[in-house]
Amino acid sequence: MTGYTLYNIGNPSDARYSPKLPGHCKPSKYMPELPEVETVVRTLCPLLVGKRISGVRLERSDILTPTGTDLAGHLLLRTVADISRRGKRIVITLDDGNRFYVHLGMTGRLTFETCDRPIEKHTHLILEVREKEVESAVPFQVRFRDPRRFGGVWWLGRDLSPDDGMGPEPLSLRVSRLKRQLATTGRSIKTALLDQTLIAGLGNIYVDESLFAARIHPLVPANRLTDLQIATLNRAIKGILRKAINHRGSTLRDYRDANGESGGFQLRHKVYDRAGKPCRLCKGEIQRIILGGRSTHYCPNCQAEI
DNA sequence: GTCCATGTTCTTTA
DNA sequence: CTAAAGAACATGGA
């Protein structure tokens, strides 16, 4: 049985596939915004859909909401029918119609691995999956690991919806809807775009990049944008997200997705994490300010104040 | 020891 | 009352 190469789970010569040695485990910085979550969903989909869940290990019960849900009872011997994304949520649908979602928070990872790989610290949930119809099929594991535990697993069942509390999806957002959403608040456009109830999926990186692409200053009140600015912003958000997804997300340091591949969009960041560096358009100096408690990067020259 | 970090939610303030 | 600002959550890297 050649399960390793069959499922293309990564290059065995990659450091990730060697046993971890003390001091040899490099730190990784994971950036789970919409493009990274989309990349995880796309890589997991062909590996997981159609497989049967043959084992469930919840190492930390407090990452599960509602606490005390009988996850093993619900998942064991069920088949994964679908994996999709809603905002930053990874939604998994079972063959009996029950659903749950995983949120990666700041440091969460959802990976597909062989069972013999060492289990890293802060691994909170392990699902063992096998090919459905094959007798004695090689088992694999889906592991949820999250050092800071801002992420977790939410059980939805058949009645709750992953749309709950989520604004519209930016990739299919009409200008009229964006205008209606932004009209509801006088907060800065930067803060408004981070609000998942107004628009789903954007995080600190892609808000900064989108505002730069639209040449809008982050401090402009959301409800004071002109119609032209809103139309430009809508196009900018879609363009930035599409490009980031095409590059499999943004990787700083040595992040790899579930297939062992890194993202590449960080090389195309125009403002994020570039404070003090020259603007790629005008050569002016990229500024960094704190807005809503988060670092915010922009070019004062390209992004005019109001 | 210090400061900083991708996200969300609860609490405090205006 | 509501909207907005701020703190909190937990861990690890620089």
Q: CA A300 → C1' B14, Å?
A: 30
- Band (A250; pLDDT cuts 50, 70, 90): confident
Average pLDDT of every residue of chain A: 87
> What is the structure's pLDDT at A196?
97
Residue A45 has pLDDT above 90, yes or no: yes
Nucleotide nearest residue A291, measured CA to C1':
C5
Q: Which residues of A are catalytic?
A: 32-33, 88, 294
Residues A133 and A182 in one domain: no
- Band (A248; pLDDT cuts 50, 70, 90): confident
Q: CA A292 → C1' B12, Å?
A: 15
Whole domain around residue A219: which residue ranges? 170-298
Query: At A134, which CATH number?
Result: 3.20.190.10
Query: At A219, which CATH number?
Result: 1.10.8.50
Residue A164 has pLDDT above 70, yes or no: yes
- Band (A305; pLDDT cuts 50, 70, 90): confident
Nucleotide nearest residue A292, measured CA to C1':
C5
Residues A45 and A106 in one domain: yes
Residues A180 and A209 in one domain: yes
Residues A133 and A183 in one domain: no
Residue A137 has pLDDT above 90, yes or no: no
Residue A37 has pLDDT above 60, yes or no: yes
> What is the structure's pLDDT at A14?
33
Residue A254 has pLDDT above 60, yes or no: no
Residues A50 and A143 in one domain: yes
Token digits of residue A249? 């997300």
> What is the structure's pLDDT at A279?
96
Residue A292 has pLDDT above 70, yes or no: yes
Residues A12 and A149 in one domain: yes
* pLDDT more than 90, % of chain A: 78
* Domain count along chain A: 2
Q: CA A295 → C1' B9, Å?
A: 19
pTM for this entry: 0.89
Stretch A234-242: mean pLDDT: 97
